[in-house]
Amino acid sequence: MPQETDEFERKSLNFLDQILTIVREDGTSFTDQEISDNLYTMMSAAHETSALTVSYTCLLLAMHPKIQDKVIAEMNEVFYDSTVEITLDTLKQLEYTERVIKEVLRLLPAVPIGARQTNSELLLDGVQIPKNQILAFNCYNLHRRTDFWGPDPERFDPDRFLPEASQGRHPYAYVPFSAGLRNCIGMRYAMNSMRIMLLRILQEFEIGTDLKQADLRFKFEITLKLVGPHSVWLKRREKL
């Protein structure tokens, strides 16, 4: 007889399961305090950064109604009625929406400054860096370098992330989730959750604002914060 499958069986471990079951090389597991610290870090970091990015996406879409129209057109094409489920496959079809989010993260990275500690001596651009030094990098400015992004880096243009436009671009020219071995472990989760949030907002509301992109001012905390009101208005969309 064929083996029965359990529809509730988990195909992969979630984050909590992983930190509860992981075993270090010395055979020890995480302590209760370490588990608690990791959970608080994951929850606070993931929720604030994703919420900030969605709010900035709504703000920039409000400033660029033609791009907003293209996003909602794509969403309505994929999710054409209530019977279409939100799955990884249907979310992947929101390709233009993903490019919009990426362009928002280029202009307004939720974490504008990152840092790394050197674990060995290294030579960086002709400068000898000793071991155990803290190096900070400003991705807010990096994402505006004209040698990577062209002569108009302040312009909001999701098509910068078309495959043909991205070809040949330096892999570390764009680091809203950091990069390399220490990149953000929640990157895929964040992108999918933001697509879902935007889907729910934009299918119900048209977004507008009187703010202008050139007038926006920000302050660098752990996350990027807008100085002044986050002023947008919502208008209920008419259903066809």
Annotated binding site for heme: 184
AA identity, residue 54? V
Sign of the alpha-carbon dihedral angle for 101, 102, 104, 108:
positive
CB distance 54 to 197 below 8 Å: yes
* Residues placed in the known binding site: 184
Take residue 99 and report the two structure tokens written for it.
């490019």
AA identity, residue 129? I
| The residue to which tokens 């709504």 are assigned | 58
DSSP 167-198: TT--TTS--BTB-GGGS-TTHHHHHHHHHHHH
Distance of alpha carbon 117 from the chain centroid:
24
CB distance 94 to 75 below 8 Å: yes
CB distance 111 to 49 below 8 Å: yes
- φ and ψ at residue 37, rounded to 5 degrees: -60, -45
Q: Give the three-state DSSP class for 45.
A: helix
**Could you give the CA distance from residue 178 to residue 125 in angstroms, rounded to a whole number?**
20
Nearest to 82 by CA among 200, 237, 198, 192: 200
